[in-house]
Amino acid sequence: MDTLRETPPLDTTLTAIRHFVDDRLLPLEDRTRGWSWNRIEPLLQELREEVKSRGWWLPQIAAEQGGMGLSLEDFGRVSELLGRSPFGHFTFNCQAPDAGNMEILIEHGTPEQQKRFLEPLLAGRIRSCFAMTEPENAGSNPVRLSTTAVREGDEYVINGHKWFTTGADGAGFAIVMAITQPDAESPYLRASQLIVPADTPGYELVRNVPIMGEEGEGYASHGEVRFANVRVPADHLLGADGAGFAIAQQRLGPGRIHHCMRWIGICERAFDLMCRRALSRELAPGKSLARKQTIQNWIAESRAEINASRLLVLDTARKIDREGDYAARQEVSLIKFYVAGVLQRVLDRAIQVHGALGITEDTVLSYWYRHERGARIYDGADEVHKSRLARLVLKQYEG
């Protein structure tokens, strides 16, 4: 890698990335609508090579690992642009859950783990998944897990059941949260994270869980996975034994910034579609839908909420960059439920303005409406974050 290459100013890069999304990714959505993942992926791989050649690969990863080395705040600005297309983050190799898995492998992986699992992940040769949520336990309480990993000599034997394992379809390996220390006094010290290659005997992708009737494929899927006496070497333990919860929390803080900025990108695309449709849809000759006060209210409210969301998220990212995840606990909970709510409202308004067209597959709106309803659930339900935020605020008033 040429470390002496001059880096262009971020605003110049953002402009170029916006044009790339508009000119290369948005037309691809129309061209491939209804295609299977196996047909779409080769086209995206070509675009990935172009992204690499333009120096945009891995925007969230440090330069020494082959990335752009952006701060969390600057990556947030890139993430918003990429969020305008369902293909954006994958094309730049910063999609969930791979981005989070890269970060924890860089931070906690051994040299051997990094060589076998991290390097091909960074290069885009493989994908990965993160298996934590279980159908038998409340996902909003990550210390309640039934999956176990029992140490037998130089191996761990894993048994359990997971679902909403995003991207399990076609993943090369999974990072699995499992109980390794069931007798630990603190519930936060009972789980560990283990790396499980997808070809390990006993590892089974049962199905892609249908989301609002759509199963999804490849990285845009949510797998149900079973582990039946899955044996992995003890050196596949990621980090310390019993550190699974701490690593997960370290992973989720920045991850929520990524999600929120992606959602703002979706909002901006939906807002653009809404405004264009309001102007072009005539109720009578010369009288567009945009002249109706209700529609104007929706446009004004959406513009205000999107702008407020962006400022809140970038401010949170800036605080994490300066002071770390722990210092921004209140802000992270705030943006998680606030931006998720804005996303739902903007999408709903855009669909309503489109009328019957909005619920068809002729626009991207119905796709997002199905797949992003989960924004108010995953990575902590709205209600959990609101309660957490309130407790943190009230602590400041306690004597």
* pLDDT score of 146 more than 80: yes
pLDDT of residue 130: 97
Domain ranges of the chain: 10-123, 128-238, 246-395
Query: Which one is predicted more confidently, 219 or 112?
Result: 112
Q: How confident is the model at residue 259 (pLDDT cuts 50, 70, 90)?
A: very high
- How many of the other CB atoms lie within 10 Å of CB of 268? 18
Query: Which pLDDT tens digit goes with each residue over 300-343?
Result: 999 999 999 999 999 999 999 999 988 999 999 999 999 999 99
Query: Which pLDDT tens digit goes with each residue over 151-174?
Result: 999 999 999 999 999 999 999 999
- Homologous superfamily in CATH for domain 246-395: Butyryl-CoA Dehydrogenase, subunit A, domain 3 (1.20.140.10)
CA distance 275 to 341: 20
CA distance 128 to 174: 6
Burial 362-375 (b: 16+ CB within 10 A, else e): ebbbbbbbebbeeb
Amino acid at 264: I
Q: How confident is the model at residue 238 (pLDDT cuts 50, 70, 90)?
A: very high
Q: What whole-number percentage of the chain has pLDDT above 90?
A: 86
Q: What whole-number percentage of the chain has pLDDT above 70?
A: 98
* pLDDT score of 366 more than 70: yes
Query: Which one is predicted more confidently, 19 or 255?
Result: 19
How much is the mean pLDDT over the chain?
Answer: 94
Q: HEC profile for 147-178?
A: CEEEEECCEEEEEEEEEEEECCCCCCEEEEEE
pLDDT of residue 7: 56
CATH 1.20.120.450 assigned to domain 128-238? The reply is: no
* pLDDT score of 219 more than 90: no
Note the CATH architecture for domain 10-123.
Orthogonal Bundle (1.10)
Report, as an integer, the average pLDDT of 386-394: 96
pLDDT of residue 3: 40
Q: What's this model's pTM, rounded to 2 decimal places? A: 0.93
CA distance 278 to 125: 43
Give the containing element (helix H, strand E) for 375: none
- How many of the other CB atoms lie within 10 Å of CB of 317? 27
Query: Which pLDDT tens digit goes with each residue over 190-202?
Result: 999 999 999 999 9
* Number of residues that make up the chain: 399
CA distance 98 to 102: 6
Query: Which pLDDT tens digit goes with each residue over 25-46?
Result: 999 999 999 899 889 999 999 9
Query: Which one is predicted more confidently, 36 or 139?
Result: 36
Residues 133, 139, 142, 143, CA torsion sign: negative
- Cα 147 to Cα 129, 132, 177: the distances in Å are 16, 9, 8
Of the listed ranges 17-21, 32-36, 115-119, 236-240, the one predicted with least confidence: 32-36
* pLDDT score of 1 more than 60: no
Q: How confident is the model at residue 254 (pLDDT cuts 50, 70, 90)?
A: confident
Report, as an integer, the average pLDDT of 66-80: 96
Q: How confident is the model at residue 250 (pLDDT cuts 50, 70, 90)?
A: confident
* pLDDT score of 6 more than 70: no
* pLDDT score of 71 more than 50: yes
Query: N- to C-terminal Cα distance for the chain?
Result: 56
pLDDT of residue 2: 39
Q: How confident is the model at residue 251 (pLDDT cuts 50, 70, 90)?
A: confident
Residues 12, 13, 14, 18, CA torsion sign: positive
Residue 325, token pair as written in the block: 């995840």
For residue 214, give the DSSP letter. B
